[in-house]
Amino acid sequence: MATDPFRLAEEAAESLRSRFNGAQPDVAVVLGSGWGPAADVLGDPLAEFPVEELPGFLPSTVPGHGGTVRVARAARRDVLIFKGRVHLYEGHDPPVVVHGVRTAILAGCRIVLLTNAAGSINADLPVGTPVTLSDHINLTARSPLFGPPPPTPYGIRFVDLTEAYSLRLRAIAREVDAGVGEGVYAALHGPNYETPAEIRMLRLLGADLVGMSTALECIAARHLGAEVMGLSLVTNLAAGLGAATLDHAEVVEAGAAAGDRVGRLLRGVIDRA
């Protein structure tokens, strides 16, 4: 098995393509915490298997992350669905965190839809609201492009993130669901939730949402030339903004409650993109 993260993604992509059963997915969807129920709305399953059967993949240790990859057929295209992801806070390095996205792109996906559960810092984004990401603030102090330069034929590591999240896909999302919000996502390392003082800091920095994923996957996807949409589901108010104690079970429950809406939103974007 290769040790270079790009060569490892090539191996995983080759193994993944061998399981497509004639499908040709060009859209990849990463389902975050609480997003699992949305998978059944995205198309008719053609194949599904544990993600760790592919080279370089590790199972998630987080409740609400399914740990399988599904190939599905929607109305206009085939879709690759990762039911869960791994995170920095599980003890993984950035190349492990972005391995799924790199594998999907090298297997033929040109559009990547990254979903997550997020805490709201903005009073205009209440619990239950799906929010397209207009930008992110990467406060993890990590990058998937850190280290040796990418090997040939991959581009240089100095990737432009001026339009990290596609304007085109965000417009489609608003066409599908006029109630979709838009905001800036602050990505922190986790796994602890933020303090009220940290939330006040993030508000001053211009963040509307806070979470523990997505930013590194976006960077890796844009480096490989994929079009990216980030979609958060507000599952709780950030620390100090609500009366309730923050709890991961609340995140999963909020995702289940909004499962039908966010599933239809994702399916609408997939069908129109």
Active-site residue list = 33, 65, 87, 89-90, 117, 212-213, 236, 248
130: preceding bond cis by omega (within 30 degrees): no
- Tell me how many degrees the CA angle 183-189-195 measures, rounded to the nearest 5: 75
Tokens for 244, please give them: 């309730």
* Distance in angstroms (rounded) separating the CA atoms of residues 95 and 97: 5
Residue in the block written with tokens 């240089």: 156
User: Are 218 and 165 spatial neighbours (Cβ–Cβ below 8 Å)?
Assistant: yes
User: Are 56 and 8 spatial neighbours (Cβ–Cβ below 8 Å)?
Assistant: yes
* Distance in angstroms (rounded) separating the CA atoms of residues 218 and 226: 9
User: Are 97 and 85 spatial neighbours (Cβ–Cβ below 8 Å)?
Assistant: yes
* Distance in angstroms (rounded) separating the CA atoms of residues 211 and 213: 6
User: Are 217 and 116 spatial neighbours (Cβ–Cβ below 8 Å)?
Assistant: no
- Tell me how many degrees the CA angle 164-165-168 measures, rounded to the nearest 5: 130
User: Are 211 and 125 spatial neighbours (Cβ–Cβ below 8 Å)?
Assistant: no
Tokens for 230, please give them: 């980030």
User: Are 29 and 82 spatial neighbours (Cβ–Cβ below 8 Å)?
Assistant: yes
Q: Which ranges constitute the DSSP H helices of 50-177?
A: 94-97, 99-106, 167-176
